[in-house]
Chains A and B, each alone.
Chain A
Amino acid sequence: MANNWAPKTKVDWFLTVLRVLALGVVTVGLLAFIAQQISVDNPFARLINPDATGLTVAQFRGLVISGLSQGAMYGLIALGYSMVYGVLGFINFAHGEVFMVGAMTGMITSNKLDDAGLWESNFIGSLLFIVVVSMLVCTLTAVIMERVAYRPLRKAPRLIPLITSIGISFFIQNTSVVLLGPTSKAYPDMPDWLTAKRTFLEIEGTKILVICVAALAMLGLWLLVERTKTGKAMRAVAEDQEIAGLMGVNVNRTIVKVFAVGGAMAGVAGILWGVLFRSVIHYTGFLPGIKAFSSAVVGGIGNLGGSMAGGLFIGLAESTGPLLILEPLGVSGVSQLRDAVAFAMLIGVLLLKPSGLFGERLSAEDRA
């Protein structure tokens, strides 16, 4: 709303300056990028970054594809944040750890399969198997979490479950440390036909696989929420638990289902992580968790399509942002700033559009 933007107080002035600055940095960075793409020796590009090198088409494509594949993964995790937020109204901080549990489960299962020789001989079957196992374990984790920690807190002030979820996150992370050890662990090698860059646009098969699996999972979830009775119950519970109960909806069971579905999605995402990076450690869940949350917020929390879009946005931003914006601006060592870019995106989007890109504006009544 235009009126919202008209600065009234000192703080508003400052925020306006920040907004302009943020947009300015992005714009100048992009312009410099375009300039250096036209010609590296372009005076404008040289002026801003004397060491500009520019990107080749292949490099650019690589960035976009890895951004999309990671973004798809973030999107899947974001769904869990978004659904729980929609129904219970708090951020389940520990959801990132559910994702880590998925990646760990996948690591253990796939290594066992590899020991048995099945990983190589029947890769597709093995992959399906570990996806299923991981979904089951994650669903279980999420459901236990709800039962033990969140159900008793349904009526507590909103910050209480949030703090609890931080505790759970800590607990799960360190459970992994004490049970499985603090070192990073590897997935078995992926088959060559998957990792090789395909002639088709020269994209790695793993990344295509990740995008496809994420799209499938997303579609399934959308059908569940929009087309089934369970989904209708979920939406009703999200809006008014008491009245949903009055309609005969079993509120507790519906909330458990929400956690279960979110957990399952995180389980899929965990395997995708394994496929993409082949290495997992106890804090694997932390950063992707926060970024997935950022995706959910950027997309407008509570909005499933928005979460996926937000995930892709964050994924793309963090993979291309450093080289597209920061590098042309003359920042050195940009790859270190990937995560900083992701967080800056979160802050930037909330500065410009407090309800996220696709979020409905919450009315005063809803917020109360």
Chain B
Amino acid sequence: MNGNPLLDIRGLTVEFGGLRALDGVDIQVHEGQIVSVIGPNGAGKTTLFNAITASVEATGEILFEGRTLLGLDANQVTSRGVARTFQNVRLFANMTVLENVMVSQHCRTKQGTFGALFYTKAFRREEAEIRARAEEILGFFGTRLIGFRLDQPAAVLSYANRRRLEIARAMATQPKLLLLDEPVAGMNPVESAELTGLIGRLREEWGFTIVVIEHDMEVVREVSDRVIVLDHGTMIADGDYHEVSSDPRVIEAYLGQGATTK
């Protein structure tokens, strides 16, 4: 890769009451890459996402497109172009599918009280645009989330569809960098295979740069250009799938001795 990385993390450290969840991590993600982050539980993977999206305080440096993200509020990070999903799906369960995707265009739209109160032309145009974009994004997942589903509350969706809707919601913030936290967790093999394909299409068709946390090595092998391994808050490996999966430290810390790599 040449040029400056899209995401440039240097010496990132996160502490919780004296415990270092992340300890001086350096990660560079270039535009158009799909990078997987793996590692044992408690290694700091989700903390890494939380630090990037400003849900926890961190020290060190996180540069996104050359500008620092540290010190911003979570919503400011999102409006810079970083969006995420959550490990334990956190949709707005009582809002409809459509509303879930509409509401996350908040930082890309600007109509305020005035427009709403006086029902201005600009207001109506923007509402229509928001809706159209939402439907376009939902259409990416096939017919599952459109049609009569649009006006159903997210709570009635199946588990796999909730995961898909979460990705759609993140897409609606129009990010450059998409952070997916265990996107296939709890899915059956058929569904996770399908979603694996979708991750590739997210890059090809929408141009997102993607960082994925994943336990399923199958998926990791399938999607990633690069794999980063975290253990106890430090990075122990960084390379393509084959390098990483044969690294003795990774086998020791994460894959386990019995694991076979294909």
A interface residues (Cβ-Cβ under 8 A, vs B): 1, 3-4, 6, 8-9, 361, 363-364
B17 at the interface (CB under 8 A from A): yes
A8 pairs with B71, CB closer than 8 A: yes
Nearest residue in B to A360 (C-beta to C-beta)? B17
Given the interface contacts A6-B71, A8-B73, does A361 sit within 8 Å of B17 by beta carbon? yes
Residues of A within 8 A of B57 (CB): 1, 3-4
Given the interface contacts A3-B57, A361-B17, A364-B55, does A8 sit within 8 Å of B72 by beta carbon? yes
* Residue from B17, B50, B73 within 8 A of A9 (CB atoms): B73
B119 at the interface (CB under 8 A from A): no
Residues of B within 8 A of A6 (CB): 71
B148 at the interface (CB under 8 A from A): no
Residues of B within 8 A of A3 (CB): 57, 71
| B residues 127-158 touching A (CB-CB < 8 Å) | none
8 further contact pairs, Cβ within 8 A, besides A6-B71, A361-B17, A364-B56: A1-B57, A3-B71, A8-B71, A8-B72, A8-B76, A9-B73, A364-B50, A364-B55
- Taken together as a complex, chains A and B put the C-alpha atoms of A337 and B171 apart, in Å, by 53
Residues of A within 8 A of B50 (CB): 364
User: Can you give 5 A-B contacts (C-beta < 8 A)?
Assistant: A3-B57, A3-B71, A361-B17, A363-B16, A364-B55
Residues of B within 8 A of A4 (CB): 57
- Taken together as a complex, chains A and B put the C-alpha atoms of A361 and B16 apart, in Å, by 10
Residues of A within 8 A of B76 (CB): 8
| B residues 44-100 touching A (CB-CB < 8 Å) | 50, 55-57, 71-73, 76
Nearest residue in A to B75 (C-beta to C-beta)? A9
- Taken together as a complex, chains A and B put the C-alpha atoms of A363 and B57 apart, in Å, by 12
Task: Tell me the interface secondary structure of chain A in the complex.
Answer: loop
| B residues 3-27 touching A (CB-CB < 8 Å) | 16-17
Closest-CB distance, B33 to chain A (whole angstroms): 28
Residues of A within 8 A of B55 (CB): 364
Q: Shortest 7 CB-CB distances between A and B: which pairs?
A: A3-B57, A1-B57, A8-B73, A8-B71, A364-B55, A6-B71, A363-B16
Nearest residue in B to A368 (C-beta to C-beta)? B90
Residues of A within 8 A of B71 (CB): 3, 6, 8
- Taken together as a complex, chains A and B put the C-alpha atoms of A159 and B71 apart, in Å, by 32
- Taken together as a complex, chains A and B put the C-alpha atoms of A243 and B107 apart, in Å, by 41
- Taken together as a complex, chains A and B put the C-alpha atoms of A301 and B203 apart, in Å, by 47
- Taken together as a complex, chains A and B put the C-alpha atoms of A8 and B68 apart, in Å, by 13
Nearest residue in B to A364 (C-beta to C-beta)? B55
Closest-CB distance, B115 to chain A (whole angstroms): 22
- Taken together as a complex, chains A and B put the C-alpha atoms of A3 and B17 apart, in Å, by 15
Nearest residue in A to B70 (C-beta to C-beta)? A3
Closest-CB distance, B9 to chain A (whole angstroms): 17
- Taken together as a complex, chains A and B put the C-alpha atoms of A363 and B47 apart, in Å, by 12
- Taken together as a complex, chains A and B put the C-alpha atoms of A6 and B17 apart, in Å, by 20
- Taken together as a complex, chains A and B put the C-alpha atoms of A80 and B57 apart, in Å, by 34
- Taken together as a complex, chains A and B put the C-alpha atoms of A96 and B50 apart, in Å, by 40
- Taken together as a complex, chains A and B put the C-alpha atoms of A1 and B56 apart, in Å, by 12
- Taken together as a complex, chains A and B put the C-alpha atoms of A6 and B76 apart, in Å, by 16
Closest-CB distance, B53 to chain A (whole angstroms): 12
- Taken together as a complex, chains A and B put the C-alpha atoms of A6 and B73 apart, in Å, by 12
Nearest residue in A to B90 (C-beta to C-beta)? A368
- Taken together as a complex, chains A and B put the C-alpha atoms of A4 and B57 apart, in Å, by 8
Residues of B within 8 A of A364 (CB): 50, 55-56
Nearest residue in A to B15 (C-beta to C-beta)? A1
- Taken together as a complex, chains A and B put the C-alpha atoms of A126 and B56 apart, in Å, by 57
Nearest residue in A to B59 (C-beta to C-beta)? A3
- Taken together as a complex, chains A and B put the C-alpha atoms of A256 and B128 apart, in Å, by 54
Nearest residue in B to A11 (C-beta to C-beta)? B73
Nearest residue in A to B57 (C-beta to C-beta)? A3
Nearest residue in A to B88 (C-beta to C-beta)? A368
Closest-CB distance, B119 to chain A (whole angstroms): 28
Residues of A within 8 A of B16 (CB): 363
- Taken together as a complex, chains A and B put the C-alpha atoms of A42 and B200 apart, in Å, by 78
- Taken together as a complex, chains A and B put the C-alpha atoms of A4 and B102 apart, in Å, by 31
Residues of A within 8 A of B17 (CB): 361
- Taken together as a complex, chains A and B put the C-alpha atoms of A9 and B71 apart, in Å, by 10
| B residues 215-244 touching A (CB-CB < 8 Å) | none
- Taken together as a complex, chains A and B put the C-alpha atoms of A194 and B237 apart, in Å, by 75
Nearest residue in A to B73 (C-beta to C-beta)? A8
Closest-CB distance, B52 to chain A (whole angstroms): 15
- Taken together as a complex, chains A and B put the C-alpha atoms of A3 and B68 apart, in Å, by 15
- Taken together as a complex, chains A and B put the C-alpha atoms of A1 and B50 apart, in Å, by 17
Residues of B within 8 A of A1 (CB): 57
- Taken together as a complex, chains A and B put the C-alpha atoms of A361 and B56 apart, in Å, by 13
- Taken together as a complex, chains A and B put the C-alpha atoms of A361 and B57 apart, in Å, by 13
